[in-house]
Structure 1
Amino acid sequence: MRQGTAAGSSATREAVHAWLLLLPALVLLVAFTHWPAVSTLVDSFYSTPKGSRAGVWVGLENYQVMVGDPVFWKAVRNNLWFAGATIPVSIALALVMALWVNERIAGRAFLRMAYFTPTVLPMIAVANIWLFFYTPQYGLLEQITGALGLPSHNWLGSPTTALGAVTLVAIWKEAGFFMIFYLAALQTLNPSLREAAAIEGASRWYFFRRVQWPLLMPTTLFVLVNAFINAFRMVDHLFVLTRGGPDNASILLLYHLYEVGFSFWDTAYASAITVVLVVVLAGIALFQFFVLDRKVHYK
């Protein structure tokens, strides 16, 4: 009997000890993730407080305003275009770069560093670098096009090219980040697989398509989730490059959310946009993990 009591007390102490160890992280998670999410959801059903006047219950009015907001739908279209361009291109470039620097080539360490450097740079610094590239008349891109005899063009000031220019900056920064994950995954593959393929006379393309690519699927799923999230939370470089212009040609959802919440100070409407954005991103992540995950081969 005493042994059972002692075992129960020991298990209780271990459980309490475990929860005490988890408590700091749990408090931070609740305080900075769960509570703000619940608070934002509640605020989306109230009006924006004005001075001493508290917000009042308005139900779905903020969501109705969002449905009728042409700038919101412009931001949605731009973000879908932005995601459709950055996600596949940055992942494909990351995979190609990882395959290249994984080979025994001269200057491999330098190439790895060069590809990864954009990732460690702050996005504001990256945006300022590309702002010089895109500057009309004396920017680097203008110097190149001028040397080729092509006419001058305001890449960030034209509605037809502003979003494409912003997209190119995001791809340049994202590809190096995703390359690290692919490179790490490639280095975990058994070298005997390549040797066996060489003995059988398999070409490099066949080896990649039949062996490497299936084994890289778990990494691809992880990268895909991050790419989707990054595509819808990209906002830093818009402050420097275009500020969503010209005429909202390059505005993205998160930048529109920032403008509504902090420029126009309509916090209730901004909360409604936040709720929709979080629900969409959560739905995409759940689809990728629970549907696409079934097609991933871990062994």
Structure 2
Amino acid sequence: MRSSPSAHRPSHPAGQAWLLLMPAMLVLLAFTHWPVIGTLWHSFQSTPKGGRPAVWVGMENYQVMLDDPVFWKALTNNLWFAGATIPLSIGLALAMALWVNERIAGRTFLRMAYFTPTVLPMIAVANIWLFFYTPQYGLLEQVSGALGFGSHNWLGSPSTALGAVTLVAVWKEAGFFMIFYLAALQSLNPSLREAAAIEGASRWYFFRRVQWPLLMPTTLFVLINCVINAFRMVDHLFVLTRGGPDNASTLLLYHLYEVGFSFWDTGYASALTMVIIVVLVGATLLQFFVLDRRVHYR
């Protein structure tokens, strides 16, 4: 006698689904949500020192932050840093992907060359560019000297330090985002290009009217990662400038590191952490709810 199909179905499919999700949920709760809650709690407390435990101080740490000129300098620098790295990284990644997607000689070598900075540790990248920026002896100084320009301390001048570290970040990130654009371009239907060629459309018109709208889902993904990286990228500062000169290249995360680990002010550092979290969450929600409406998934 044959059994009915319902006899082989699990009795509690919802329970089994929750069990499968439980390991990932526990890891997410332990290493993401709980630390955020703990940081929020510590941001309303003083820093424990010696035998003096932490006490509730309310909004005092946030008031200290508002009165801190270094915080406002770091925030301004970070906004300039994000405003430069985000469009430059996306634009350069898209341009490189469009180029290496064509049938050109040495295409494999070009792809490898563009992607190589991505696999290098940020500390190694910073040391490479430190050689470029070294006054009088660096590669950039040698080239500028050969062209008749004077010597300049790129990392030691307040007017160029932030731009110098921004260029390093763009060079490091663009190759990584190129891979996503390249994969998206290769997934497009080849008949679209053929139809555009038959109609006599130029390359620019084909890109603007066909490729760019179809690349919007990839662009949204890349944009979110660019925003996050703009506020979490700090490794190269330890090698290149250490936030100097006169905090000209200090970013929020570097300022947070100095407050938390150099001055050991955990209460103030927690308040800074919450500000960074709020900025990133706000930027991500803005992108999802505003830019997602302009994305064409089909």
For residue 285 of structure 1, what is the amino acid of its counterpart?
T
Quote the residue 1:68 is aligned against.
Answer: 67
For residue 190 of structure 1, what is the amino acid of its counterpart?
N
Quote the residue 2:151 is aligned against.
Answer: 152
Q: 3-state SS of the aligned residue for 2:52? A: coil
Following TM superposition, by how much is the alpha carbon of 1:8 offset from its aligned partner in structure 2, in angstroms?
Answer: 11
Following TM superposition, by how much is the alpha carbon of 1:251 offset from its aligned partner in structure 2, in angstroms?
Answer: 0.2
CA distance in structure 1 between the aligned counterparts of 2:137 and 2:156, rounded to whole angstroms: 15
CA distance in structure 2 between the aligned counterparts of 1:9 and 1:182, rounded to whole angstroms: 42
CA distance in structure 2 between the aligned counterparts of 1:42 and 1:266, rounded to whole angstroms: 15
1:90 aligns to 2:92 (yes or no): no
Q: 3-state SS of the aligned residue for 2:27? A: helix
Following TM superposition, by how much is the alpha carbon of 1:228 offset from its aligned partner in structure 2, in angstroms?
Answer: 0.6
Quote the residue 2:124 is aligned against.
Answer: 125
For residue 36 of structure 2, what is the amino acid of its counterpart?
A
CA distance in structure 2 between the aligned counterparts of 1:22 and 1:51, rounded to whole angstroms: 43
Quote the residue 2:10 is aligned against.
Answer: 10
Greater Cα shift, 14-23 or 109-118? 14-23
Greater Cα shift, 45-54 or 166-175? 45-54
For residue 10 of structure 2, what is the amino acid of its counterpart?
S
Quote the residue 2:134 is aligned against.
Answer: 135
Q: 3-state SS of the aligned residue for 1:106? A: coil
CA distance in structure 2 between the aligned counterparts of 1:207 and 1:121, rounded to whole angstroms: 35
CA distance in structure 2 between the aligned counterparts of 1:283 and 1:77, rounded to whole angstroms: 17
CA distance in structure 1 between the aligned counterparts of 2:71 and 2:248, rounded to whole angstroms: 12
Following TM superposition, by how much is the alpha carbon of 1:19 offset from its aligned partner in structure 2, in angstroms?
Answer: 2.9
CA distance in structure 2 between the aligned counterparts of 1:51 and 1:17, rounded to whole angstroms: 49
CA distance in structure 2 between the aligned counterparts of 1:8 and 1:97, rounded to whole angstroms: 53
CA distance in structure 2 between the aligned counterparts of 1:11 and 1:252, rounded to whole angstroms: 54
CA distance in structure 1 between the aligned counterparts of 2:24 and 2:202, rounded to whole angstroms: 50
For residue 37 of structure 2, what is the amino acid of its counterpart?
V
Count of matched residue positions in the alignment of Structure 1 and Structure 2 = 295
Structure 1 unaligned residues grouped into runs of 5+: none
Quote the residue 2:183 is aligned against.
Answer: 184
Q: 3-state SS of the aligned residue for 1:10? A: coil
For residue 66 of structure 1, what is the amino acid of its counterpart?
M
| CA RMSD between the two structures | 1.6
> Within 5 Å, which residues of 2 pair with 1:123-272?
123-272=122-271
Q: 3-state SS of the aligned residue for 2:45? A: coil
Query: What CA deviation, in whole Å up to 9, does each residue of 1:118-144 have, x standing for no partner?
Result: 011000000000001101111111111
Following TM superposition, by how much is the alpha carbon of 1:9 offset from its aligned partner in structure 2, in angstroms?
Answer: 9.2
Greater Cα shift, 216-225 or 15-24? 15-24
Identity of aligned residues (%): 81
CA distance in structure 2 between the aligned counterparts of 1:191 and 1:228, rounded to whole angstroms: 32
Query: What CA deviation, in whole Å up to 9, does each residue of 1:30-70 have, x standing for no partner?
Result: 11101000000000000011123210000000000001100
For residue 107 of structure 1, what is the amino acid of its counterpart?
G
CA distance in structure 2 between the aligned counterparts of 1:7 and 1:49, rounded to whole angstroms: 61
Quote the residue 2:100 is aligned against.
Answer: 101
Following TM superposition, by how much is the alpha carbon of 1:11 offset from its aligned partner in structure 2, in angstroms?
Answer: 2.8
Greater Cα shift, 141-150 or 191-200? 141-150
TM-score (normalizing by structure 1): 0.95
CA distance in structure 1 between the aligned counterparts of 2:33 and 2:239, rounded to whole angstroms: 31
CA distance in structure 1 between the aligned counterparts of 2:296 and 2:180, rounded to whole angstroms: 17
